[in-house]
């Protein structure tokens, strides 16, 4: 790992980690919004919310990644697409737990 960091430079590694965190955050936000919108459809509402969240994350993450790479004017390699597929599971977990945490904090802070 240290050799890899020396090759690309510590500053570039920090920038790449920042972009990765922003990518996961944006994808989790989009996943949450799309999941909540789809839950208003009666037939889709029969699915468990967590399963729907995983499906939405799998469908959204790779196109968002490709759009981000096009915006950054970087080439897209096959392993990057595979990595974005794997990142979709992280996005789904962040999306699912994010709303649960916000709801829990709101219940604790807002007393009726």
Q: State the 10-residue block means of pLDDT for the chain, 112 residues long.
A: 59 79 90 91 88 93 92 88 93 83 75 66
Measured CA distances, 68 to 39, 63, 102 (Å):
27, 9, 27
Q: Which residues of 20-41 are buried (b: 16+ CB within 10 A; e: fewer)?
A: eeebbeebbebbbebbeebeee
pLDDT on residue 9: 66
Q: How far apart are CA 5 and CA 108, in angstroms?
A: 42
Per domain, the residue ranges of the chain are 2-109
Q: How far apart are CA 100 and CA 39, in angstroms?
A: 16
């Amino acid at each position: 790992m240290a050799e890899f960091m020396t090759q690309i430079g510590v500053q570039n590694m920090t920038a790449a980690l920042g972009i990765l965190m922003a990518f996961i955050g944006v994808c989790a936000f989009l996943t949450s919004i799309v999941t909540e919108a789809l839950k208003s459809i009666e037939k889709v509402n029969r699915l468990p919310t967590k399963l729907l969240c995983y499906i939405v994350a799998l469908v959204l993450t790779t196109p968002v990644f490709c759009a981000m790479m096009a915006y950054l004017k970087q080439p897209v390699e096959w392993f990057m697409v595979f990595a974005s597929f794997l990142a979709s599971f992280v996005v789904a977990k962040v999306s699912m737990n994010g709303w649960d945490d916000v709801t829990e904090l709101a219940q604790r802070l807002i007393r009726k």
